[in-house]
Structure 1
Amino acid sequence: MTGQFSADRDHDGGLLRAPLPQDHIALDPCFGTRFALFVDTEEEFDWDAPFSRTGHGVTALTGMARGQAWFAAAGVKPVYVADYPVIDSPAASQMLAQWRDDGAAEIGAHLHPWVNPPHVEAVTAANSYVGFLPEAVERAKLDALCLRFHDAFGTRPTIYRAGRYGVGPNSARLLEDAGFRIDSSVRSHFNYSHQHGPDFEGLPVTPYRVGPMRNLVELPLSTAFVGRLRRNGAQLHRATRGLGRISGGLARAGLLSRVPLTPEGVSARDAIAAIDALLADGVRLLNFSFHSPTLEPGHTPYVRNAADLEAFYRWWGAVLAHLARRGVTATTMAAFLAAVPAADGTARQSACQAA
């Protein structure tokens, strides 16, 4: 552990704990204000059915190709975090590798434990959060994913997102040990403990260091509270959690809504309000996300038909136009890491040079 953290050896830098003050990251001023797009690149399955090791496919490749072409034309380089079935599909992995080699996208790893070997745990809702499996099982699944990734792409992954945002008490250390540089599993302001998952309430929406050695950077998914009561949004949301009529009434009255930056279940108007709220709070990297099967009708609840798919692209058109008006440009994870000071506080290559 570097001297910067030697006084805090009792704080393990875990992903379920609030970071220490010195773990917060001040990005290089040259980085400006940017946005990133993560695509949870995964198999298609029935979202309404129980989890299963079988009964899935990797077929939404035409939709993914259209989406990649659309984002490339818009000047966006998505980060495709791919899970085991996608990496194990020659057609899908070759397509992702080509986009990476063309400099049009970045690729990372995504872990759905129920379809990721070794298959040693019972398939249950609780076990769908890999971070809450026994440490040895989480490590073995992560190792298998990294090995398959290396076989398919020729390198080990350095970017990670847990399926269902399912990091746990051992995840930061295991990711650090495996050589990951960026995790983007924390969904700030969300609490999944009622369904056996992690609690991210109270965690930052801005990047910070995690892991025992602080060699891993957490880039949370972006969520904002919007409405006239947003300044106390986190506290009010916790107080009204589970009181659907109250929280729904606050939202309908324009007083308080929790808005993640995703086209899945969020209107463009609400997303734009969330963008403005995050910018007003000084957030300099907005992190958008969606699931790859959404790019083809019929695979997720968000795009059931061709009309839904066209609405998906209209959403992005409106949001990207607003980002451009606000001077927020697309970034890559390489440029982001260049803007992060080294763990010992020394400067890296200038973010201006890496942009």
Structure 2
Amino acid sequence: MIRSKLTVIIHAEEEFDWGGGFFRSNNNITHGAELTTFVDQILATGVRVVLAMDYAFVSSEQGTKVIEHFKQQQYKNVEFASHLHPWVNPPFEEPTIDGDEIEDFYSFPGNLSADTEEAKLTSLTTLIEQKTGRRPTTYLAGRYGTGANTYQILKKLGYKLDVSISAFADFSSYHGPDFSNYTNSETSIDGIRCIPHTSGYISYCNGVANYFNRDSQNLAKFNNSFIGKVILKLLGVKRVRLSPEGYSYKEMHKLLKSLNDIGVENFIFSFHSPSVKVGLTPYIPEDKHLSKLRNDTLKLLNEFSSIRAD
């Protein structure tokens, strides 16, 4: 049995229409009380929580209340980190449509000029330090959007850990980064420690899932042919994130089991903060979806030690 660790990372951010574009004016936060309650429940399972907060969240009244609540707990098992959403984070230097909406391309921090990316992250870092009393050392790029300049900027600003990589994911079709060659193994870029958001493959056959999760090139061998794709379908191969947003307890459990089998040491369980309230993200349209997210999350976290030992 490996001594693996699981951290819950919450993308603490504003509420906006996920399919409606990126607007500077979308900075509303109404889910602070619900988030505080749920994080307290998560902490009761014994896991560590990272609140990766963007500018809109940190500067809001409700976001401030969330921060104050966890500051009173002497930072026990809670870390405040940075989460850069360029469209709501000053200084506002990127091009806009009608002065409010930014193009999708600039919603990825790594697509900004080096000066603009650094200026925005400096602004966010300073605000978090002012509000929390501690300078953040963990970074999560908005939309996982790291770029050519990101890690040098992080190093300059004193960051130690990046959690922006999303294992096996490719966002290049809509201007984002391509992480398809990354597995769930820890790596280092320009001296910054990088732990990927946990994602991988499950299958009807555990050995098949383990094979695909070991090496990013293994799946490509099957995807390059019609017969290979048919085999993947017959084997029930599916990519799953370690997240209750769109994935079931059963799927997450199978993913954890496979990644544990191949020796992954660090797991990141993640979700977006507006998902703690009905109607704020596509994942939670009704009360029943919120109940499922809560129940699946707490069940998985409570059972993590036994899953790890299987």
Judge same fold: TM > 0.5, yes or no: yes
Cα contact 1:100–1:107 (8 A) shared by 2:
no
Q: Paired residue for 1:38?
A: 9
Distance in 2 of aligned mates of 1:253 and 1:33: 31
Q: Paired residue for 1:309?
A: 290
Q: State the 1:242 CA deviation.
A: 11
SS at match of 1:157: coil
Q: Paired residue for 2:202?
A: 226
| Pairing 1:314-329 to 2, within 5 Å after superposition | 314-327=295-308
Q: Paired residue for 2:94?
A: 121
SS at match of 2:22: coil
Deviations 1:216-263 (A, max 9, x none): 21111111212244314633644677999x86x666534311111111
Candidates 133, 143, 157, aligned match of 1:154: 133
SS at match of 1:176: helix
| Pairing 1:51-66 to 2, within 5 Å after superposition | 51-66=22-37
Q: Paired residue for 1:284?
A: 265
* 5+ residue gaps, structure 1: 1-28, 329-355
- Percent pairwise identity: 28
Amino acid across the alignment from 2:201: F
Q: How many residue pairs get matched?
A: 295
Q: Paired residue for 1:178?
A: 157
| Pairing 1:219-298 to 2, within 5 Å after superposition | 219-227=195-203, 228=205, 229-230=208-209, 231-232=211-212, 234-235=216-217, 237-238=219-220, 253-298=234-279
Cα contact 1:272–1:322 (8 A) shared by 2:
no
Structure with the higher strand share, 1 or 2: 2
Point out the more displaced range, 54-63 or 277-286. 54-63
Change (3 A) 1:179 1:311: same
Change (3 A) 1:277 1:327: closer
1:87 aligns with 2:58: yes
Amino acid across the alignment from 2:264: V
Distance in 2 of aligned mates of 1:238 and 1:266: 23
SS at match of 2:176: coil
Q: State the 1:313 CA deviation.
A: 1.5
Distance in 2 of aligned mates of 1:81 and 1:259: 22
Q: State the 1:63 CA deviation.
A: 1.4
1:189 aligns with 2:168: yes
Cα contact 1:222–1:288 (8 A) shared by 2:
yes
CA RMSD of aligned residues (A): 2.5
Instruction: Compute the TM-score of the two structures, normalised by the length of structure 1.
Output: 0.77
Amino acid across the alignment from 2:65: Q
Change (3 A) 1:318 1:72: closer
SS at match of 1:326: helix
SS at match of 1:109: strand
Q: Paired residue for 2:49?
A: 78
User: Of the two structures, which has the highest relative contact order with CA contacts closer than 8 Å and spacing of 6 or more?
Assistant: 1
Instruction: Compute the TM-score of the two structures, normalised by the length of structure 2.
Output: 0.88
Distance in 2 of aligned mates of 1:237 and 1:197: 21
Q: State the 1:90 CA deviation.
A: 3.4
Change (3 A) 1:239 1:118: farther
Distance in 1 of aligned mates of 2:157 and 2:278: 36
Cα contact 2:30–2:62 (8 A) shared by 1:
no
Distance in 2 of aligned mates of 1:84 and 1:286: 26
SS at match of 1:276: helix
